[in-house]
Structures are given as C-alpha cells and as structure tokens.
Amino acid sequence: MEHDALTIKQIEAAINRLRERAPGDGVTLAPGVAQLAGLYGRMIWFHLASVSAASLTADEASALSAAA
C-alpha cells in the first residue's frame, strides 16, 4: 500500500464522524458527508481497497480534513 494511501475503512470512519457532527436534514447529506460518500461509492464500484491522498479532489480533501 502507498504511504499516502487512504483505505476504504478510513473513508468510512471519516463519513461516520462527519455524520455525527452534521447529520443533515433527513433528506440530504451534509456537504462534507456527500463528498466523502461519493468517494466511498466510487471505491466500492471500482473494488478499490485504498486510494492515494493525492488523487482526492479539493472538496474531498477538505471534508477528510474536517473529519479529523
């Protein structure tokens, strides 16, 4: 695994942390949650166990940072 790799488990944990902080309105996801959920979905679709941190969009990286 790459040194800057983020595992699907790390992305899932970040989503859960953000959901606790900003649960959304019951219909839509909070913006940071939505960004990471999109990444998580792509990882599942393409059967990726990890992604490079350098491959994240600015919004995904910001959401991941906010989840820390």
DSSP code at position 53? G
Average pLDDT over residues 41-49: 97
Question: Is 0.85 topped by the overall pTM?
Answer: yes
Q: pLDDT tens across 12-24, in order? A: 999 999 999 988 8
Domain ranges for the chain: 5-67
Pick the range with the lowest mean pLDDT from 7-16, 22-31, 33-42, 53-62: 22-31
**Distance between CA atoms of 43 and 66, rounded to whole angstroms?**
20
Q: pLDDT tens across 1-14, in order? A: 456 999 999 999 99
| Rg of the chain, C-alpha, whole Å | 11
